[in-house]
Amino acid sequence: MLNNIFDSHGHYTDSAFDSDRDELLKSLPEKGVSKIVTVGSSMEDSYKCVEIAEQYDFVYAACGVHPEAEAETPDDFTAELEKLLGKSPKIRALGEIGLDYHYENYNRERQIKLFTSQLELADSLALPVIVHSRNANEDTMEILRKYRPKGVVHCFSGSAETAKEVISLGMYISFTGVLTFKNAKKAIKALAEVPIDRLMLETDCPYMAPEPFRGQRCDSSMIAKTAEKAAEIKGMSVQEMLDITNLNAHEFFGIK
């Protein structure tokens, strides 16, 4: 059985897990999962992530405000976020934060303000950041060039050229089950440009289930399928891929 699976980005607070969250999480170590980071998308969600992380030895948390939560987030939220980030040693990153211009009527200026204020907070606390970028590559890269955070661009959807630049900034890149999709040519080209010591794997569960589970609720054990594709691209065994990305995630999140 494959082991050493480190899911660097999941959303176990999601309502998709409400019916069997505890049962599922308790079963994952038996399926080769060694570590999970469950990631916040709003202040309310971040508190829930910490609660989950403190219940399971192998689960950690990231706390932050996603760009889609900008309308519900007060201007002075960083004081509360800073207090939360100091609440538990299980909190290992600030995130997920970034820009998302996918939906109509997005507030570009406010998203940028939320993003940059959280980058500044992470820098002051020496925390790594988890960056979300959708349909906002130009603004995202401009901000990352300015701040140069210790960070990962998660669920990477950019070009091979953008991947090279993210790596040149000293950041990591993480891929989901999208790598296994039939139309994943762009992601595969991007992965080819990522040095193995800057690569992480994730589910973004309950979303982004890899083939052959596409369309189902995703969970951390399914990273094995993403690792298969990544290993094929990088010319190594699946277990080697899982071992290396496990080490990378431990390094990134500062987990001993």
User: pLDDT of 168-224, one tens digit each?
Assistant: 999 999 999 999 999 999 999 999 999 999 999 999 999 999 999 999 999 999 999
DSSP helix, strand, coil percent of the chain (3-state; round to 5): 50, 15, 35
Q: Is the pTM value of this prediction over 0.85? A: yes
Q: Does domain 5-253 have CATH number 1.20.1260.10?
A: no
User: pLDDT of 101-149, one tens digit each?
Assistant: 999 999 999 999 999 999 999 999 999 999 999 999 999 999 999 999 9
- Write out the two tokens for 93: 């990153």
What does the domain layout of the chain look like in residue ranges? 5-253
Phi/psi region, residue 235 (left: phi>0; alpha: psi -120 to 50; beta: rest), is left
Segment (H or E) for 38: strand 33-39
User: pLDDT of 11-29, one tens digit each?
Assistant: 999 999 999 999 999 999 9
DSSP string covering 10-23? E-TTSGGGTTTHHH
Q: Are 17 and 209 in contact (CB under 8 A)?
A: no
